[in-house]
Amino acid sequence: MTAPVQTLLLADSREAADLAAFLGRLLRYDRAAAVRMQAGGARGGQGGSLAVFGRPPSFEVLAIRTARLADRDDTDTAAVLDVTVAAGELLESIEGSALAVPAAITGPPWAGVLPPRGGWREIPGLPGVPEMRGAVAAAVAEFRARDEALPPERRIRTERDRIGREIWSRTLGGTALPLRAVHAAQSLGFLRPAAPGAPGGAALLAAGGWLRLRTPYGSIAVRTGGLGGLTVTPTAGHSA
């Protein structure tokens, strides 16, 4: 017998549109992208929240998009959800403010190592959003200039990766946040100017071995010990 399809109702269609945009950006980097979904709190008519985690392969970070769940009278729906699914199937399931949870898949290794849920503390020294966007633009320009300056015999992937590792592993201002995390936030649309009436600004948080760049549009989390090799190529065309 086929298991019933679980449906989540988001607070409004704008929440659904923002989630769809996030999934679409992830799929630009990996058409077979997987995401981990966690939802809870929708009990006794009280709306909860949905968190969707993804890992764009070029940046070696985790991207997190949250959405509010609608208040509901049924106490069973969306009480608890923790599943890894195909990002493309999740995107296709969004209709209006509702989404159908796709069938679970065997998740990639990163899906089993998520940032902690609590214990975050704010770290001072984070520049403003315009300054962060400027830092990304300057780094992209440096990458292109150095790439163009390479002699033909050195214009190969390994040399470009070396330049990328050097640039994107630098930290932002006086913080420990690597530039690759800011680049990921820019490319995934998390560094947009805040909409009128919406909470603005960004914050840098730390918990355990993680740093998290939080904005009104989503978060980028990175392990302070690093996530392995880095092969970042500028993606200014994906910026929002």
The whole-angstrom distance between residue 222's C-alpha and the CA centroid of its chain comes to: 10
**CB burial class (10 A; 0-12, 13-18, 19+) of residue 67?**
buried
Q: Which of 216, 195, 213 is nearest to 127 (CA)?
A: 213
List per-residue pLDDT tens for the chain, 240 residues long.
455 568 999 999 999 999 999 999 999 999 999 999 999 864 544 568 999 999 998 889 999 999 999 976 554 444 579 999 999 999 999 999 999 999 999 989 999 999 998 999 999 999 999 999 999 999 999 999 999 999 989 989 999 999 999 999 999 989 999 999 999 999 999 998 766 666 668 999 999 899 999 999 999 999 986 443 333 434 333 333
Q: For the chain, give every domain's residue range.
A: 7-112, 121-238
DSSP 87-141: HHHHHHHEETTEEEPPPP-PPPGGGG-PPPSS--EEES-PPPHHHHHHHHHHHHH
| Assigned CATH topology for domain 7-112 | DNA Polymerase III; Chain A, domain 2 (3.10.150)
What distance in Å separates the CA atoms of residue 48 and residue 61, rounded to the nearest whole number?
26
